[in-house]
Chain A
């Protein structure tokens, strides 16, 4: 999976601001997901975590929001 070409994000003080610029939709994401978003942006595989189910659900949400797509 990877971020779509039209997905942009950056870290604010208390959250990550994410934008689908093709539809101008904005999303606020918890800071704890920054490393996953960075991995997706850089095209690195997502590291296994001790909370795999939570990560899986997060990625599923990103697909639903249209900010993530299958390669």
Chain B
């Protein structure tokens, strides 16, 4: 009997991407965020969407981008959320004026947490991957980011610091840990840079996580001892963890993402990495979220979460990363790339490296 999780009647939460506009041009960006995308959602769209989220019982929205505060409708969205009493998280780079910080606080009744990116312990390390900023120095970016973290923290909002582990950050993990112990966020998410978007053009940023595994273990333990919830995203510290490895993702089952142009996909990656020839995800400008949740592309995505991977020991407890499979192979029967290296432990046949993995072709993007 299959133990694959069933979809909820509607998303329990979702990402609401306000704009692809960003005031930075991070070299590790998983998208190509920077400029506003053609046909982005407008004020009326956001009002209608937030009303529907409330009506169908979505528990909370993660307001994100690009940089969501760069949307001309950011303030309107906060008002709509307040009117509908819909809880929300804010994912931001923290670069905003004091007036805007105060505005968010004014509409903070339903703000449940703020997630801010911080990738290094000083201006050099944090700023080195944010070179594209045209208006701020690396020093100013770092100072403002830390200021925003403290602003929200002093007002009682739980803070999550999100750190992308680029090469220099990995080298300076102990110093970053010291800064975290000083800032004391509620949670600290550490994730490797992914092979998507602008990061593909900046291969020098990628560090070998295996080299820093012991250091990551120490950082993990010390931060936890100091009451910081540490989450290592897609990082396995101990080989023994592979014995029970399974991919637990709620894409299309419990959550989805509304993109800045209104396209709705099961997750961020599926929109960014799956070519339109495989999945033509619906747009919320012409559909309700409820209809999209039941649509053919979403149902097919769910079907692909429960097929393939023949022989895998974790099959019934895993719902596979469909986005990864289509990004690299375009074939739903293949196994995700991150299972290739542990295929013996899982009991599955490895994939032949894709042309992308061999560096022969670039990843197709929409």
Residues in A lying within 8 Å of B, measured CB to CB:
6, 8, 10-13, 17, 19, 21-22, 24, 26
Asked if B87 and A12 sit within 8 Å, CB to CB, the answer is: no
- In this complex, what residue of B is CB-closest to A12? B9
Q: Which listed residue (A6, A13, A19) contacts B9, Cβ 8 A?
A: A13
In the assembled complex, which residues on chain A have CB atoms less than 8 Å from the CB atom of B57? 8, 10
In the assembled complex, which residues on chain B have CB atoms less than 8 Å from the CB atom of A12? 8-9
Q: Which listed residue (B8, B10, B87) contacts A6, Cβ 8 A?
A: B87
Interface of B is mostly: loop
> What total of A-B pairs shows CB separation below 8 Å?
25
Asked whether B60 is an interface residue with its Cβ less than 8 Å from the other chain, the reply is yes
In the assembled complex, which residues on chain A have CB atoms less than 8 Å from the CB atom of B59? 8, 19, 21
Q: Which listed residue (A6, A10, A11, A13) contacts B112, Cβ 8 A?
A: A6
In the A-B complex, list the 9 residue pairs whose CB atoms are closest, starting with the nearest: A10-B57, A21-B87, A8-B59, A19-B59, A21-B60, A21-B112, A21-B59, A12-B9, A22-B112
In the assembled complex, which residues on chain A have CB atoms less than 8 Å from the CB atom of B87? 6, 8, 21
- In this complex, what residue of A is CB-closest to B57? A10
24 A-B interface contacts by CB (under 8 A): A6-B87, A6-B112, A8-B57, A8-B59, A8-B60, A8-B87, A10-B9, A10-B10, A10-B57, A11-B9, A12-B8, A12-B9, A13-B9, A17-B8, A17-B12, A19-B12, A19-B59, A19-B60, A21-B60, A21-B87, A21-B112, A22-B112, A24-B112, A26-B12
Q: Could you tell me the distance between the alpha carbons of A32 and B356 in the complex, rounded to whole angstroms?
A: 52
Residues in B lying within 8 Å of A, measured CB to CB:
8-10, 12, 57, 59-60, 87, 112
In the assembled complex, which residues on chain B have CB atoms less than 8 Å from the CB atom of A19? 12, 59-60
Q: How far is the CB of B230 from chain A (nearest CB, A)?
A: 16
In the assembled complex, which residues on chain B have CB atoms less than 8 Å from the CB atom of A8? 57, 59-60, 87
- In this complex, what residue of B is CB-closest to A9? B57
In the assembled complex, which residues on chain A have CB atoms less than 8 Å from the CB atom of B8? 12, 17
